[in-house]
Amino acid sequence: MDLGIRGRTAIVCGGSKGLGRGSAEKLAEAGVDIVLNARSAEALEKTAGEIAERFGVKVTTVAADVTTPEGRAKLLEAAPAPDILVNNAGGPPPGVWSEWGEDEWQNAIRANMLTPIHLITAVLPGMIERKWGRIVNITSGSVKAPIPALGLSGAARSGLTGFVAGTSRQVARHGVTINNLLPGQHETARIESLMNNTAKQKGITVDQAREDAYAANPAGRFGTTEEFGAACAFLCSAYAGYIVGQNILLDGGSINATL
């Protein structure tokens, strides 16, 4: 399916691996030039080279920490007029409410709420002027159904969700959409780490931890970065202009909810 976005330019944050990379690859497959961001220059350059070679699009790399004003300025200098923005940042570590002090809260809010908001507000004026734009925020299923150990992440990302809910409805008339993708468990390096931790805590093998996680999911498996990326690319497509301010779960049905 031709997504109608060939020749456009997308910023993809956290794009060197995992869900960010999956999103960048599917956008590149649709003919979109990519401005790829991550903190690690080595991993970033490797991923960029592979995407450019495979899909034949232009891939520009920006190694920067976009949770800082300097990092965001560097990214926006490389892509001053993007058609598409994919916000993506890893969440803070799990823990217990009693362990979270000022520093932990400030770090979580800066990374998972304020940084995407700053990037959104930076690119919106140009998108509005050009009468077209797509913004997708990769958040978490924890904004739909709380995960106690991920309270920092859930709270910060819920703040972003609230911002998107109002702002998306203000800019939709200009041909600009903003939506959120809420991933569940996917085949990424992070899930490998979580399975290892679960195995150690329960005194079982990693294979058993994985089998237990599969059994707990209605789909009987974890998601793939490819199918996640495809969902992201569709939300960025020419056909998604009537999808506004939505929170779309990609979790295999693990969150048991009617709506």
**Does pTM top 0.85 for this prediction?**
yes
Q: Is 21 exposed, middle or buried (0-12, 13-18, 19+ CB in 10 A)?
A: buried
Q: What is the DSSP letter of 36?
A: E
Comparing CA positions, the residue from 119, 109, 57 lying closest to residue 82 is: 119
Tokens of 241: 């202009």
Confidence category of residue 259, pLDDT binned at 50, 70, 90 = confident
Confidence category of residue 10, pLDDT binned at 50, 70, 90 = very high
The residue-averaged pLDDT of 129-136 equals 98
The residue-averaged pLDDT of 137-146 equals 94
Contact 33, 8 (CB under 8 A): yes
Q: Which pLDDT score is estimated for 93?
A: 86
| 77 Cβ neighbours under 8 A, 6+ residues apart | none
CA dist 126 and 249 (Å) reads: 29
Contact 112, 89 (CB under 8 A): yes
The residue-averaged pLDDT of 130-153 equals 94
Confidence category of residue 194, pLDDT binned at 50, 70, 90 = confident
Which DSSP string corresponds to 222-257? -B-HHHHHHHHHHHTSTT-TT--S-EEEESTT-S--
The residue-averaged pLDDT of 137-159 equals 94
CA dist 41 and 62 (Å) reads: 8
Tokens of 174: 């200009």
Q: What are phi and psi of 6, to 5 degrees?
A: -60, 135
CB burial of 60-94 (b: ≥16 within 10 Å; e: otherwise) equals ebbbbebbeeebbebbbebbeebbbbbbbbebbee
